[in-house]
């Protein structure tokens, strides 16, 4: 199995609904996003998928969230914008955008701070 990973980032604000602490108030993060995809198949050039393709699809999702108040945009206008839910959102959205049938999203890791991260995989 070949696993390829890209890393990008974005900035946004959120407030956690029903949270019994400071994070219930409006605050922001410089999020780091790590996307790993996997494939057992390489093309004739020895490539599973071009890193540029993974970056391109990930940046489409990042663009929706960058410099936004997450609580005001779908799906986080209803879904609590926790790091866990953001990681799953990236996983699901990127999985829809990568159309190579031999390549699957393996996991998404979202870093809320340099010392706190969540990984989502199926």
Q: What amino acid positions are annotated as catalytic residues?
A: 23, 67, 112
Tell which phi-psi region holds residue 69, choosing left (phi > 0), alpha (psi between -120 and 50) or beta: beta
Give the closest residue to 93 by CA, choosing from 103, 78, 108.
108
- Sequence-distant (6+) residues with CB within 8 A of 71 are 14, 15, 17, 77, 81
On whether the CB atoms of residues 35 and 90 are closer than 8 A, the answer is yes
* Token pair of 118 as six digits: 């969540």
Instruction: Please report where in the chains the tokens 């989502």 appear, as a residue.
Output: 120
Compute CA 13 distance to the chain's CA centroid, rounded to the nearest angstrom.
Answer: 15
């Amino acid at each position: 199995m070949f696993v390829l990973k890209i890393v990008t980032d974005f900035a946004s604000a959120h407030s956690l609904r029903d949270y019994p602490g400071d994070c219930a108030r409006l605050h922001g993060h410089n999020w780091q996003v790590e996307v790993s995809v996997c494939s057992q198949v390489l093309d004739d050039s020895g490539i599973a998928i071009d890193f540029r393709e993974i970056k391109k699809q990930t940046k489409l999702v990042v663009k929706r969230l960058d410099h936004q108040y997450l609580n005001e945009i779908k799906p986080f206008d209803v879904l609590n914008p926790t790091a866990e839910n953001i990681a799953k959102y990236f996983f699901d959205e990127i999985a829809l955008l990568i159309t190579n049938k031999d390549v699957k999203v393996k996991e998404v890791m979202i870093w809320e701070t340099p010392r706190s991260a969540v990984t989502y995989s199926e």
